[in-house]
């Protein structure tokens, strides 16, 4: 394989209000706790089962941090595209090395979309905010899947 790809796509709901922190360089960073769930019917009992995965989302893009701060609340449904990253840090109490796996939203290959409907956590339907090399811009996406692919 000539190259590699590190891309994560998630749709889920925020488990808590976003946390906004200021980094040493003075820029803000947003941390989100995103829940994704899957449900199925148990073949033996007929009982409905559900499993929830929790994902740590970290937003470094200044424009997206502002959008997160203004519009996202616990329960909001969002779509994110980012890269998975594992970082190492020292636990201050025990002095042991710890690891955190996060989905990082930064740079031109990342996006965060607020999806409408659902719980009070609100979102703006079809409102997409993407980061790019040049600037942060808000753009509307279309639900129209009509493209020129012949199949």
pLDDT at 127: 33
Domain ranges of the chain: 8-36+49-140
| CATH 2.40.50.140 is the classification of domain 8-36+49-140 | yes
**What is the pTM (predicted TM-score) of this model?**
0.70
pLDDT at 135: 30
Q: Which residues of 11-37 are buried (b: 16+ CB within 10 A; e: fewer)?
A: ebbbeebbeeeeeeeeeebbebbbeee
pLDDT at 17: 97
Distance, CA of 46 to CA of 58 (rounded, Å): 38
- Per-block average pLDDT, block size 10, for the chain (151 residues)? 88 97 94 96 92 96 92 96 92 90 91 75 37 30 38 38
pLDDT at 1: 57
Distance, CA of 53 to CA of 29 (rounded, Å): 23
pLDDT at 138: 28
């Amino acid at each position: 394989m000539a190259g590699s790809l590190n891309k994560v796509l998630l749709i889920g709901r925020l488990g808590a209000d976003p946390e906004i922190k200021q980094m040493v360089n003075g820029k803000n960073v947003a941390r989100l706790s995103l829940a994704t769930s899957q449900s199925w019917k148990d073949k033996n009992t007929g009982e409905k089962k559900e499993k929830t995965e929790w994902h740590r989302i970290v937003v470094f893009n200044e424009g997206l941090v502002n959008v997160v701060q203004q519009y996202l609340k616990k329960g909001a449904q969002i779509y994110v595209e980012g890269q998975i990253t594992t970082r190492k840090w020292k636990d201050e109490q025990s002095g042991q090395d710890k690891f955190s796996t996060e989905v990082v939203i930064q740079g031109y290959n990342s996006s965060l979309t607020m999806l409408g409907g659902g719980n009070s956590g609100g979102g703006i339907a079809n409102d997409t905010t993407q980061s790019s090399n040049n600037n942060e811009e808000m753009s509307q996406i279309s639900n129209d899947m009509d493209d020129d692919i012949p199949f």
